[in-house]
């Protein structure tokens, strides 16, 4: 190994070899004459030690600060006490970027840490969460690719709402009003006519006006739409995709998952098919916990938590009352007042991960329900064309990436599944 070739910390393995690494100072302490530097990069941390009597040519600045960036060359030594069992005896040192008084110290309030998010992201924990998130999205793309779904790129600036007016962000678009997309669904519905099974991974925006541990105002939405699928077939797509993501991150990143707080075996064991219960059965479960809820209403936060805690594996709730679902949901011909819609729920109290289902094909019914939601059918004229020209039965769903990561890693708050979380009181950094 040439001393000039820079390697990642993870690859410093063989005692006696000389390595160069680049990283940031994670910890520093002076013990007698020796200086100990724990260096971190994206692959891990490594203890490096400088003994001035053995390597007098090396000068380490006395004021070397936490998070300074440095390049270190050294000889790997076995050391039982060092984290990872290997330590680097420093033979060369170069300061790349100094760091004076790094503002993150122990015991800071969560709000200060959120103000310093751009720096807090360097913590091991957030690094590992972001790595798992990246792997989860990569696994999702892999599943779609293997199953012949075509990736599409729907717009973010849109002229009509998908998920109701209450959570719509509007903005001035030259001399008219436009919105930030809540869901790519309506556009995916247009794309199935030319591309068949399609998916997209886009930001979605929701003007959520309450502070909860599971709502963001901006999140990454994994959505799919399939011609000639019904409710049961789309649930099969969802459970297979969901299991593939869980199994893949468990296989590829067991240490990160364990370090953040979840046993990777739990995710490795998630297998399709998932249990399916009706809305009616779900309401009975909620009532069995002495939680008040009217039949026909949506599950409140408490009811959803109780339901989710009732199960130890992901499950579906299907056939919801029509009045709590949007205008595009297909009514169940066999159960008047109910729709062919399903939510995929995570266990352990985390709740809703996806919503999906079959889409209404009847033009008049859609128009009537768009009006009932307080919108103007003219704003949906392009969408209504899809029912006019060669309409086919179809179904789709949307999965919130951060909801998924939040549950997979058992995080306390969904914001930790985002590098730069957007919530009611925060759009910076």
Interacting residues toward ligand 4AD by CB under 6 A: 162-163, 182-183, 185, 206, 208, 215-216, 219, 221, 223, 352-356, 396-400, 402-403
Strand partners, 73: 20, 92
Contact 121, 419 (CB under 8 A): yes
Whose Cβ is closer to Mg ion: residue 199's or residue 397's?
397
Q: Which is nearer to ligand 4AD, 47 or 355 (CB)?
A: 355
Q: 51 vs 422, which CB is nearer to ligand 4AD?
A: 422
Residue 183 makes contact with Mg ion by CB under 5 A: no
The span from the CA of 39 to the CA of 22, in Å, is 8
The full DSSP string for 129-154 is HHHHHHHHHHHHHHHHHHTTPEE---
Smallest distance, ligand 4AD to C-beta of residue 285, A = 19
Cβ-based nearer residue to ligand 4AD, 41 or 239: 239
Both tokens of 230, joined, read 């019904």
Identity of the residue, 248 or 355, whose beta carbon is nearer to Mg ion in the bound complex: 355
* Residue that has been written with the tokens 């012949």 in this structure: 148
Q: For residue 185, state whether it binds Mg ion (rule: CB under 5 A).
A: no
Q: Which is nearer to ligand 4AD, 50 or 133 (CB)?
A: 133
Nearest CA-CA partner of 159 in 191, 199, 187: 187
Give CA separation, 98 vs 65, 67, 421, in Å.
7, 8, 28
- Rg of the chain in Å (alpha carbons): 26
* 189: partner contacted, choices ligand 4AD, Mg ion, none (Cβ within 5-8 A by kind): none
Return the closest-CA partner of residue 271 out of 246, 307, 235, 308.
246
What six digits make up the tokens of 25? 């100072």
Among positions 344-363, residues that touch Mg ion (CB under 5 A) are 355
Question: In the complex with ligand 4AD, which residue's Cβ is closer, 314 or 396?
Answer: 396
Task: Report what 41 binds from Mg ion, ligand 4AD, none; CB cut-off 5-8 Å by kind.
Answer: none
**Which does residue 317 touch among ligand 4AD, Mg ion, none (CB within 5 to 8 A, set by kind)?**
none
Minimum Å distance from CB 215 to ligand 4AD? 4
Structure tokens at 340: 């062919």
Question: Which residues are CB-contacts of 259 (< 8 A; sequence separation ≥ 6)?
Answer: 124, 125, 128
Binding mask 226-255 for Mg ion (x = CB under 5 A): ------------------------------
Question: Choosing among Mg ion, ligand 4AD, none, which partner's interface includes residue 40 (Cβ < 5 to 8 Å by kind)?
Answer: none
Token pair of 160, please? Answer: 């009509």
- Which phi and psi angles does 308 have, rounded to 5°? -65, -40
Cβ of residue 110: shortest distance to ligand 4AD, in angstroms? 19
Binding site for Mg ion (CB under 5 A): 355
């Amino acid at each position: 190994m040439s001393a000039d070739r820079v390697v990642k910390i993870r690859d410093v393995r063989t005692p006696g070899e000389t390595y160069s690494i680049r990283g940031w100072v994670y910890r520093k302490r002076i013990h007698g004459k020796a200086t100990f530097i724990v260096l971190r990069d994206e692959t891990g941390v490594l203890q490096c030690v400088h003994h001035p009597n053995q390597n007098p040519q090396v000068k380490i600045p006395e004021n070397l600060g936490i998070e300074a960036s440095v390049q270190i060359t050294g000889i790997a030594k076995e050391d039982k006490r060092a984290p990872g069992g290997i330590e680097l005896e420093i033979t060369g040192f170069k300061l790349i970027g100094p760091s004076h008084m790094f503002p993150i110290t122990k015991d800071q309030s969560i709000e200060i840490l959120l103000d310093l998010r751009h720096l807090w992201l360097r913590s091991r924990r957030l690094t590992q969460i972001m790595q798992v998130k990246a792997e989860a999205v990569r696994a999702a793309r892999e599943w779609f690719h293997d199953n012949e779904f075509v990736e599409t790129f729907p717009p973010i600036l849109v002229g009509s709402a998908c998920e109701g007016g209450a959570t719509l962000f509007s903005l001035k678009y030259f001399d008219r009003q436009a919105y930030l997309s809540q869901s790519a669904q309506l556009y995916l519905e247009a794309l199935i006519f030319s591309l068949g099974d399609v998916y997209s991974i886009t930001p979605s925006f929701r003007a959520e006006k309450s502070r909860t541990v599971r709502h963001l105002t901006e999140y990454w939405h994994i959505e799919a739409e399939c011609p000639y699928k019904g409710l049961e077939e789309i649930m099969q797509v969802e459970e297979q995709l969901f299991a593939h993501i869980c199994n893949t991150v468990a296989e590829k990143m067991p240490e990160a998952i364990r370090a953040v707080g979840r046993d990777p075996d739990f995710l490795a064991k998630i297998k399709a098919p998932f249990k399916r219960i009706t809305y009616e059965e779900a309401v009975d479960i909620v009532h069995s916990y002495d939680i008040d809820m009217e039949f026909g209403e949506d599950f409140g936060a408490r009811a959803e938590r109780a339901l989710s805690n009732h199960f130890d594996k992901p499950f579906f709730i299907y056939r919801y009352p029509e009045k709590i679902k949007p205008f595009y949901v297909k009514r169940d011909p066999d159960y008047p007042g109910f729709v062919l819609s399903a939510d995929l729920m995570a266990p352990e109290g985390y709740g809703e991960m996806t919503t999906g289902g079959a889409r209404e094909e009847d033009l008049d019914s859609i128009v009537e329900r768009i009006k009932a939601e307080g919108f103007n059918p003219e704003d949906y004229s392009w969408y209504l064309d899809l029912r006019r020209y060669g309409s086919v039965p179809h179904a789709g769903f949307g999965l919130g990436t951060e909801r998924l990561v939040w549950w997979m890693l058992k995080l306390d708050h969904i914001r930790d599944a985002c590098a730069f979380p957007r919530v009611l009181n925060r759009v910076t950094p």
